[in-house]
Amino acid sequence: MTEVNQQARRRFLKGLGVAGAAAATAAPMAAFANTSAEGVKWDKTVDVAIIGSGFAGLAAGIEAKRKGAKSVTIFEKMGVFGGNSAINGGLFAAPNTPMQKQEGVKDSVEQMVADQLAAGRGIADETLLRHVAEHAAEALQLTIEAGAEYHPYLQQLGGHAVARTYQTTVSCGAGITQPLLKLARKEGVEAVARIKFEGFVTGKDGKIEGFKARENYYFGDEKSGKVIFVRALRGVIMATGGFAQNINLRMAQDPTLTGEVGCTNHKGATGEAMLEMFRMGAIPVHLAHIQSGPWASPDEGGFGYVSNYSIYNFPHSIAVDTQTGKRFMNEIADRKTRADAELNCRDAEGNPMPPIMITSWKHADEHPNAKKVLKYNVGWKFDSLEALAKHFNVPLKALQQQVDEYNGYVKSGVDAQFGKNMAEAKGKFLEAPFSVVRLWPKVHYCQGGVQITKDARVLDSITGQPIPNLFAAGEVAGGIHGVSRLGSCSIPECMVMGMTAARSVMGA
């Protein structure tokens, strides 16, 4: 860690007041013990049991039925289906898609993998990334078959060399999870909510026979519901997501991620199922790499409206330090690069000074969230640069110089300050009226989890071999993306690995 980053880290800890918030806001956790199958009375028996109802779980359920499973059940801890997937940004990256051909975008599996490896900073899993990229278009087609609707244009997100990202017309993941759930039920998949996984049931040979759960569970009340045992004849697919809302666990990896740091995840993203896989002997990988979203706003809770608005507008906007009136980063660099740069925007005492993103209103208004950020008072509209500078106490002269300089980059197509790819900014000059939002990172995604094979099998830390009948897909699996995941690469990973897990469990 460089001296600059060490200083930033110390200021971050000081600014957020580490002593405090963790214990009070941490999700309740229980210690469960895995159970021997000997003498267990099974309450339910299925061919394939899937824990979690997000992108990975739903894709796995559909694929398992299509590969011949007689009975498939998706078990969801919370009261509604979709998990964290339902509230994510609804952004899906894939190479060699019909819309890329339509827009004349040249792309390839190799380019998508190369972009992700660069963001992963040397520790991403190339084999898994390539597997996902090779099947991403297939997974995208499944969502379209299910009824997902996307905007008729592609986006180029930070760290991507080309535009390859689709976005749902509702600008969130529910535009995919709801159609997938409907298709899953049509295929004969059963989906049940308020079933909390509490540990595995194993045979004498260590094979996963099923699991213990709590039926009619209500999140937050660990004694609610009734204990049941579910037998899975072919296997259990774990699709339970990350642990971003488990404050004690995330602070164990990074002490700066206290309860005072915002989070885009739903409250149920607490990671108990991942911990149970570790108890079974699964290999922990990259748990300390927890990603913060640089497009989030300190003025709203959760993912909010600003996040998708920012993601769309970053290519033709500038991010400005309010203290200097100057840009401080490449607005479409990878997430970690931008989040680290934003966290350095502080006053002399180390207190956070959230930077602002400035966009011409006529371009910002092309995104459906533009009017919403104004309606809910998490964004502002100004008729002049003078009014903007006065509102945020930004040095006007420096800001005017920065805007003029940036407009020169738009004209020339070359960003001399930070090397930003200006292709998506062509012809989009910064002109009044302006739209402005504030930026500050929020905990968004856990790169760490259990280690899996390309076939989605969970590996044993002692033998190095797959744990019999145990599969994992999505954010609960770790090591795929390395240090930093590129935006819009989570949905294809979840979908592809969910489908892969189903094929593996069915021997297809």
Is 130 catalytic? The answer is: no
Q: What share of the chain is helix, strand, coil (3-state, %, to 5)?
A: 35, 20, 45
Helices (H), 290-447: 306-313, 335-343, 361-364, 370-375, 385-392, 396-412
Check: CB of residue 444 under 8 Å from CB of residue 475.
no
Cβ neighbors of 435 (< 8 A, separation 6 or more) are 313, 358, 359, 360, 361, 364, 365, 370, 373, 374, 379, 380, 381
DSSP annotation of 459 reads E
Whole-number Å distance between alpha carbons of 385 and 22: 41
Q: Report the amino acid identity of residue 143.
A: T
For tokens 């992963």, what's the residue? Answer: 120
How, if at all, do strands 434-438 and 356-360 pair?
antiparallel
With the CA atoms of 123, 502, 150 and 147 taken in that order, what torsion angle do they form, in degrees rounded to the nearest 10?
Answer: -170
Give the containing element (helix H, strand E) for 1. none
State the angle between helix axes of 126-146 and 109-120 in degrees (0 to 180), rounded to the nearest 10: 120
Whole-number Å distance between alpha carbons of 183 and 185: 5
Cβ neighbors of 385 (< 8 A, separation 6 or more) are 396, 399, 400, 403, 432, 434
Nearest C-alpha neighbor of 40 from the set 209, 207, 205, 197: 209
Catalytic pick among 11, 231, 250, 335: 335
Check: CB of residue 164 under 8 Å from CB of residue 97.
yes
Whole-number Å distance between alpha carbons of 245 and 269: 5
Whole-number Å distance between alpha carbons of 498 and 239: 8
| DSSP bridge partners of 449 | 285
Whole-number Å distance between alpha carbons of 406 and 218: 52
Structure tokens at 130: 């390539």
- Long-range contacts of range 8-15, CB-CB < 8 Å, 24 or more positions apart? 8/340, 8/343, 8/344, 8/346, 9/256, 10/350, 11/346, 11/350, 12/256, 12/343, 12/350, 13/255, 13/256, 14/349, 14/350, 15/346, 15/350, 15/351, 15/352
Check: CB of residue 330 under 8 Å from CB of residue 156.
no
Check: CB of residue 136 under 8 Å from CB of residue 496.
yes
Q: What is the number of other CB atoms lying within 10 angstroms of the CB of residue 16?
A: 18
Catalytic residue numbers read 335
